[in-house]
Structure 1
């Protein structure tokens, strides 16, 4: 399923009107073919489990696909070219999910198909012993799931879509960097030629995507600090470019690039402080009684009452 963006089921006149309107988003359509060939020469249920990290893990393709979509949907008209880039890349990432899901299924089902009938009957029971995630059999019929390698479901909390183009672009570089790191580790782990070939393709695409986001950042005017729209004269000028050491004993300036010299944003000079500003306090006012669960409160109250009663009796 090569997923792309396209207008579908509309007339030529309608397409012309859509093209003339910058905020109309093209819908998706699918083609009955994979984005890249997926072959498995040596089916491995354990590797299928590892591949799940590249689908539903924090470094996975579901993360970047959803991240790019939500970033695109938040952009105003003035960033239409970036919106288009995000949408096209998100569509490609959806295709990557399909590649990996296909690889997981092939590693699971082809390993079972290679067994004789008696062995196949016991395959499900032995799934966890061979390293396979049992739920891939029990819940998904020997196929991929939207989970990571530990079976933890994908979560939207992995997604960075702040509405700030510069901040999101830096997040995209990080996402592609961690995704590429994961793909290279999977490539190193497997000896299967087909899996290495598929992963080499995904690694190459991560290389491209890292570079494209860095290139877009270069087109922005003075993007740092993020957000650049906040007036810097409103931040504390004594600490905005100072590296503050947290060492127990005060140390001299190590003269690193981040403790002296011009800052990358060109707005200041790095400096070094050997200790934190201090003068703060960790003491806070007492909480409301109803929120403070004091285990001795009832006992103390009872003792006070008993003491008062005893005093009254003596009098």
Structure 2
């Protein structure tokens, strides 16, 4: 059961409308790493959790918080769209403002048209000056953006990744605005992203130290069934050996179960692939060395059968 409190978690109204910036804020709602993604990711991970109750509760706490973040950003977009220009005229001049001056038109009217051309037209046509479940270029949010695998350690690592990318995008949008209200609102969301990055790092440490799940994920797969001779080899697949200087190239592996080895000149361990001819009913490209007879009448070395109705 969910309850909605009408007051926002945090919000400072922008000082002035900015429909072009509203288009950019859409990325923080419906982008790959936007609030809709982390909201649905945490909620589904929580709903699907079969592990200890503390993890389920934590996931649902944070997923529900993210619903409020979407409300904050939707409200921000609504205020940024206040008094958005509805009129759009084609301008023949290369620089519409200069063209307006030369043609005797009020430059202010032309600037309004330029703003209208740059804003998201769906903010007026589709939503009537409201936010959308879409990114900054209008691509609809997609459920395939989320990760909910049933393995909590794998999911917590995905969550850390999502919060890292989301905070990066929020910080970039912060730098793109000079509106004190916008910057103050974003500063709250950026701070919560700081908490959530730390939260997922703590959750990863907690679940690994408990022994419920460890690296490599899934730890339930028997290590003896993998090719252990290559489990900790770093393969140098590009010119130069700068990568040999990294932590991943020498010393104990991060899971404590092996030693990193740097392979400067990796060699192929498999043979050149050879595929059998396709079923002739698929009408693929004939392989001359695998056919009998002569000319185009040769049949592939696959018995031709008739498909009966």
Residue 202 (structure 2) pairs with residue 215 (structure 1): yes
Match of 1:230 in 2: 221
Contact 1:246–1:276 (CA under 8 A) maintained in structure 2: no
SS at 2:234's partner residue?
A: strand
Contact 2:278–2:284 (CA under 8 A) maintained in structure 1: no
SS at 1:28's partner residue?
A: coil
Deviation at 1:291, TM superposition (A): 2.9
1:43 paired residue among 7, 13, 17:
17
Query: How far does the alpha carbon of each residue in 1:127-146 deviate from its partner, in whole angstroms, 9 at most, with x for none?
Result: 652x2111111111111000
Query: How far does the alpha carbon of each residue in 1:195-245 deviate from its partner, in whole angstroms, 9 at most, with x for none?
Result: 000000000000000101111111122621111111111110110010012
CA distance in structure 2 between the partners assigned to 1:196 and 1:253 by the alignment: 39
Task: Provide TM-score, normalisation by structure 1.
Answer: 0.77
CA distance in structure 2 between the partners assigned to 1:45 and 1:58 by the alignment: 22
CA distance in structure 1 between the partners assigned to 2:283 and 2:15 by the alignment: 62
SS at 2:181's partner residue?
A: helix
How many residues matched?
265
Contact 1:112–1:123 (CA under 8 A) maintained in structure 2: no
- The root-mean-square deviation of aligned C-alpha atoms, in Å, is 2.8
Task: Provide TM-score, normalisation by structure 2.
Answer: 0.79
Contact 2:251–2:259 (CA under 8 A) maintained in structure 1: yes
Match of 1:285 in 2: 276
Query: How far does the alpha carbon of each residue in 1:133-176 deviate from its partner, in whole angstroms, 9 at most, with x for none?
Result: 11111111111000000000000111011110000000000000
SS at 1:243's partner residue?
A: strand
CA distance in structure 2 between the partners assigned to 1:288 and 1:127 by the alignment: 59
Contact 2:84–2:116 (CA under 8 A) maintained in structure 1: no
2:141 paired residue among 154, 173, 177:
154
Match of 2:238 in 1: 247
Query: How far does the alpha carbon of each residue in 1:11-65 deviate from its partner, in whole angstroms, 9 at most, with x for none?
Result: xxxxxxxxxxxxxxxx101111211123011211110000000000011000000
1:204 paired residue among 191, 211, 214:
191
1:93 paired residue among 66, 91, 97:
66
Q: Which runs of 5+ in 2 are unaligned?
A: 87-106, 287-294, 298-309
Residues 248, 231 of structure 1: alpha-carbon distance in 2 compared, 3 angstrom cutoff: same
CA distance in structure 1 between the partners assigned to 2:220 and 2:83 by the alignment: 55
Match of 1:52 in 2: 26
Q: Which runs of 5+ in 1 are unaligned?
A: 1-26, 114-118, 296-302, 306-315
* Aligned counterparts, 1:128-139, within 5 A: 128-129=116-117, 131-139=118-126
